[in-house]
Structures are given as C-alpha cells and as structure tokens.
Amino acid sequence: MNYRHAYHAGNFADVLKHTVLLALIEAMQSKPTPFCVIDTHAGSGCYALDGREAGKTGEFKDGISRLLYPDLHGSTAKAASLPPLLRRWLDSILAVPGNEDGLKVYPGSPLQAANAMRAEDSAQLCELHPEEATLLHELFRRDPRIHVHQRDGYEALSGLLPPKEKRGLVLIDPPYEAQEAEYKRIEQAIKAAMLRWPTGVYAIWYPIKLRSQVQPFLRWLSRCGAKRVLRAELMVHPDDSPLRLNGSGVVILNAPWKLDEILREPLQAMARLLSKERPAEWKLDWLLQEGAEPPAPSPLPPSRLAALRLLASHAPGPRPSSSAPPASRAPSSRAPSSRKPSSGTTSPGPTSAAPSSRPPRKGGPARPR
C-alpha cells in the first residue's frame, strides 16, 4: 500500500468526512451509556500542514482553510454565520495542540474521535502500514481509552464486533488504490459485520471520480441488510474525469435518528464555501429507509439531470415517414417454394404453392402436406 494521507489531510473530502464523524459521535452521546468507535484505516492520527507532504499538494488550502479563512477566498459574506455543527467542528480543530497560533496541524479521524469522546467511551484503531501504526501508537500511548492494532482493518472486524459496550460506530475509510476491488472488500466486510452486529452504525467514506465507478456500490447498499442507509455527498468538480478527485461521499448504515436534518445545513454551507470556478454541489438522501422500497440511486447530480432534461426538450421530434412508395424488389431467380408458410409469416416466393389435389377432410380443412 503506497497511500499516505499526509498528502491529502484537511482537503474538501476531509471536511465532509469529519463533520459527519462529529455528528455521529454527538448522536451517540445523546445516551448516557458508553460506546465504542472502531476505525478500520486509522492512519497516523495527526498531520503537519507545514510539512513536506501537505506542502507538496496544498490540498488543505481548498479544504479546511476555506472555512477558517473565508476572507482569503472572497467568501466572508458567505461564512458570516456558520451552522453550529460546522462551527463546533472547526473549533475542535483549532483546539488541537500546535494550532494555538493558527492552523498548523490537522488531526486525523482517530484524534478527532478521541477528542470528542467521553472518559467512559473507547476506540479500537486499526492500521496495517508499520510506520503509520508506530506513529499511531505513540500518539495514544498515554490514553487508556484508545487501543491500537497493527493489522488489516477488514479482518480485525471479526474479532472486534460486537464491542463490549454493545453501542458504537465503525468508520471504514480505505485508500481506494484499486476502486473496484476495494468496493468488493467493503461489501464482504459489511456482510460479515452485519451478521455479528446488525444494530451497529457503519460509516463508509468513498471517493467520486467517475460516477459510474460508485453506482454499483450504492445500488448494493439498498440490499445490504441495514435498516436504513443515508448518503451525504459533496462535489466540487463534475464527476466525469478519472484523473482527479471530483467529490466524495459518506454513507451511514443504521443512521441515527434525524441525522439527515442535522447534516443538511452544514452540507449547504460546505457547498457555498468550497466552490471554486463552478458552484459545488451537495446531495443528502436516503438510499434505504425502514419499511420503504429501496429507491434507485440517481446516477447524476441535479444540475446535470436538469441539463439533460433541457437538451431533451429541445431535441427534434421523430423524422416523418416518406410518402413515396418503396422501391420495387427485383424478382428472385430462385424457384418458388411449394411449402406453405407458417402462421404469421409471409410467403418468400412471388407465387403461392399449388393447392392440394386431395379432397378436404370431412368436418374440417384439408391437412397441409
């Protein structure tokens, strides 16, 4: 595995993913009983935005920086009033040690979850890459709530589910170096996990380059065994190029009550603040609801569907048929067939077969020969 999240920390996809993560943890905290967060692809846990990797791509400048410093992007008026959830998330990022004088470090999912958790809650973090796992161990070595495992996160689920708390959240955030194969692994992992822990909440992040690459997975989710599946997407580019990250989404299986209402306003704000040369688009809908027929996911965002409908309304109608008689067929050089055509067909020859010389049967027509 060659993926390193340090190159992408704090980008627009992280803004969506981690806002959803905070909303889920806050929903868990609505009950006093403890819960467990399980992260299958935890990474190193924290990233320096002034380091070599983040400096090489600068992706955080078009992500979290646009929310923190909207005046640098001409978005001051748009950011005048951030939704409370988005404001709490940004405040939690700035509260991380090292950010006292501005945004210098970006906490990954494990650190953001740990900072939001209560003393009685716990986390199980899985990271396969040795160097990343070592950094993760070091980050949480003094936190008894956090347990780090250097192993494949998909395989670890069989031993970690259900957690002893019987409540919690599984975050699946793989690198998608081979997208089709990754989706198959997620499907297999979710099938097994739902058998062991059908009431758990599962949040799966996915990238969007070409819409056609993600559609089969979204269709599969409508029959994955969950009671309900909520989708949240943010698109900053059209989903028609495989060469860049055009958008991303998070699907939440067994989503907490009213999560869609909690996420709607933050998604609208993200779309306003993260727009660049074209308006960003967002989507929030139920792929599956308890007691309802699973809807077919729309393959295109609303703006593209509207454009296609507009093109269809201006398309020319069917071409009128010509009134000229068809050209006559040249006579065939083949001898006419003596076989009678079957019902519903036209005789291939220009002449019909000779009638039978046998007298008709009594009480019915003559039997064909």
CB atoms within 10 A of CB 130: 9
Tell me, yes or no, if 143 is annotated catalytic: no
User: Catalytic: which of 14, 39, 121, 173?
Assistant: 173
Q: How far apart are CA 24 and CA 30, in angstroms?
A: 10
- By CB atoms closer than 10 A (0-12, 13-18, 19+), residue 102 is exposed
85's enclosing H/E stretch is: helix 84-94
Beta bridge partners of 231: 251, 285
Residues 121 and 34 sit within 8 Å (Cβ to Cβ): yes
Residues 346 and 362 sit within 8 Å (Cβ to Cβ): no
Distant-in-sequence, close-in-space partners of 277: CB < 8 Å, separation ≥ 6: none
296's enclosing H/E stretch is: none
Q: Is 61 helix (H, G, I), strand (E, B) or coil?
A: helix
Q: How far apart are CA 37 and CA 7, in angstroms?
A: 25
Q: How far apart are CA 92 and CA 112, in angstroms?
A: 8
Q: How far apart are CA 24 and CA 18, in angstroms?
A: 10
Residues 284 and 260 sit within 8 Å (Cβ to Cβ): yes
Phi-psi region of 295 (alpha: psi -120 to 50; beta: other; left: phi over 0): beta
Q: How far apart are CA 182 and CA 283, in angstroms?
A: 23
The amino acid that residue 342 corresponds to is S
Helices assigned H by DSSP within 161-258: 179-196, 211-221
Reading the block at residue 280, the tokens are 């960003």
Q: Are strands 168-172 and 36-39 parallel, antiparallel or unpaired?
A: parallel
Reading the block at residue 369, the tokens are 């020969």
Residues annotated as catalytic (active site), given as ranges: 173
